[in-house]
């Protein structure tokens, strides 16, 4: 705690960044939980609650505006012009939050606000990145759990960096980490949780049990998760691009074997229509797969080169221009 020149206690500021997309069923409960944390830590920290409304089409924007109007001293709202996705919503939080420590969390109470004091304790101990690691995800089904384990296995094998398998979009970072992420990690196809884990700094983890979603339903369908996983794998590794070289080495090896077999045995290569067609189909499949992977990388490049905004803000509540660090 610092003392200002007027002799007042200057509290450290903590920003809670909450992504909201059609969460009318849980918002009030969530705010209640945050209010009790506000009362608990109010003496030690200046809490700022920053809701990012990711183009919700239910009553969430109205509920958020009402909360903001009733609590102008600590609640702020950013409304997007349309739905840009969870990653974009977290990025807006990263850009706008003015705290010394930033905590990212979901609005459905799967990330319990009650854990905030524990995270702040780690911050006080000097940690700059606090990752919340799930011990049990009660609401995720078996398919989601298995595919998530497979995703991390592949990611950790493809990428030189290490990613914690059960890390979630519930984490805390200090203002120094925020500055680095804000300035240098401006990719359009994003994975903020991955950047947080790979950026370095003094890190620690806290284990927690992910709760059950309070009302509404998950926005991540299996299809969305697959696209997200594919983009993440491609943007954290260029190994798939080398697959072509590996495939060409394999087919060269096969060719040489066949050549030697033909030259040194009297029988010659196995003949017949079927052999040739099967071999051709197999080779073309490998070839098209490699071309497809190159296509995926080009599409990622295209997204980056277009340089369109990650999100568009249509309106803000209780945010003054000076709060919008780096936005104007």
Name the one range near Mg ion by CB under 5 A: 103-111, 120-128, 180-188, 291-299.
103-111
Choose from ligand UDP, Mg ion, none: what does 89 bind? Cβ within 5-8 Å by kind.
Answer: ligand UDP
Choose from ligand UDP, Mg ion, none: what does 204 bind? Cβ within 5-8 Å by kind.
Answer: none
One residue of 14, 47, 85, 177 binding ligand UDP per CB under 6 A: 85
Whole-number minimum distance, CB 169 to Mg ion, in Å? 9
Q: Does 110 sit near Mg ion (CB under 5 A)?
A: yes
- Measured from the CB atom, the residue of 46 and 110 that comes closer to ligand UDP is 110
Choose from Mg ion, ligand UDP, none: what does 66 bind? Cβ within 5-8 Å by kind.
Answer: none
Q: Which residue(s) pair with 16 in the sheet?
A: 49, 103
Round to whole Å and give the CA distance between 313 and 119.
29
Q: Which of 222, 284, 224, 218 is nearest to 251 (CA)?
A: 284
Q: Does 110 sit near ligand UDP (CB under 6 A)?
A: yes
Q: Which of 10, 97, 82 is nearest to 46 (CA)?
A: 10
Round to whole Å and give the CA distance between 166 and 148.
9
One residue of 54, 109, 129, 290 binding ligand UDP per CB under 6 A: 54
Q: Does 170 sit near ligand UDP (CB under 6 A)?
A: no
Q: Does 83 sit near ligand UDP (CB under 6 A)?
A: yes
Query: Which residues touch 232 (CB under 8 Å, ≥6 apart)?
Result: 151, 155, 191, 194
One residue of 76, 86, 122, 193 binding ligand UDP per CB under 6 A: 86
Choose from ligand UDP, Mg ion, none: what does 288 bind? Cβ within 5-8 Å by kind.
Answer: none
Q: Does 218 sit near ligand UDP (CB under 6 A)?
A: yes
Q: Does 20 sit near ligand UDP (CB under 6 A)?
A: yes
Whole-number minimum distance, CB 31 to ligand UDP, in Å? 13
Where do we find the tokens 């009733």?
70
One residue of 23, 48, 65, 95 binding ligand UDP per CB under 6 A: 23
Name the one range near ligand UDP by CB under 6 A: 104-112, 128-136, 256-264, 303-311.
104-112
- Measured from the CB atom, the residue of 215 and 240 that comes closer to ligand UDP is 215
Note the residues at the interface with Mg ion (CB under 5 A): 106, 108, 110
Note the residues at the interface with ligand UDP (CB under 6 A): 19-21, 23, 54, 83, 85-86, 89, 106-108, 110, 218-220
């Amino acid at each position: 705690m610092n003392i200002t020149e007027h002799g007042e206690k200057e509290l450290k500021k903590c920003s809670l960044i909450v992504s909201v997309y059609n969460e009318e069923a849980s918002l009030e409960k969530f705010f209640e939980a945050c209010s009790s944390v506000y009362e608990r830590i109010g003496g030690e920290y200046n809490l700022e609650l920053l809701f990012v409304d990711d183009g919700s089409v239910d009553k969430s924007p109205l509920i958020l505006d009402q909360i903001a109007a009733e609590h102008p001293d600590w609640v702020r709202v950013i409304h997007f012009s349309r739905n840009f996705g969870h990653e974009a919503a977290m990025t807006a939080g990263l850009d706008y939050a003015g705290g010394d420590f930033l905590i990212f969390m979901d609005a459905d109470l799967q990330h319990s606000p009650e854990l905030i004091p524990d995270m702040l304790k780690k911050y006080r101990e000097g940690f700059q990145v606090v990752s919340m690691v799930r011990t049990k995800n009660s609401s995720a089904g078996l398919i989601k759990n298995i595919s998530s384990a497979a995703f991390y296995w592949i990611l950790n094998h493809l990428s030189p960096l290490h990613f914690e398998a059960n890390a979630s979009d519930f984490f805390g970072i200090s203002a120094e980490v925020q500055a680095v992420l804000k300035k240098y990690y401006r990719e359009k196809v994003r994975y903020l949780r991955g950047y947080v884990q790979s950026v370095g700094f003094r890190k620690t983890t806290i284990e927690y049990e992910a709760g059950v979603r309070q009302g509404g339903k998950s926005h991540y369908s299996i299809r969305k998760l697959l696209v997200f996983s594919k983009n993440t794998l491609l943007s954290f590794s260029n190994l798939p691009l080398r697959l072509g070289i590996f495939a060409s080495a394999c087919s060269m090896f096969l060719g040489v074997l066949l050549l030697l077999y033909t030259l040194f045995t009297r029988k010659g290569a196995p003949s017949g229509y079927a052999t040739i067609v099967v071999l051709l189909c197999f080779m073309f499949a490998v070839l098209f797969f490699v071309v497809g992977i190159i296509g995926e990388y080009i599409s990622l490049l295209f997204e980056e080169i277009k340089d369109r905004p990650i999100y568009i803000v249509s309106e803000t509540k209780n945010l003054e221009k000076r709060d919008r660090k780096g936005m104007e």
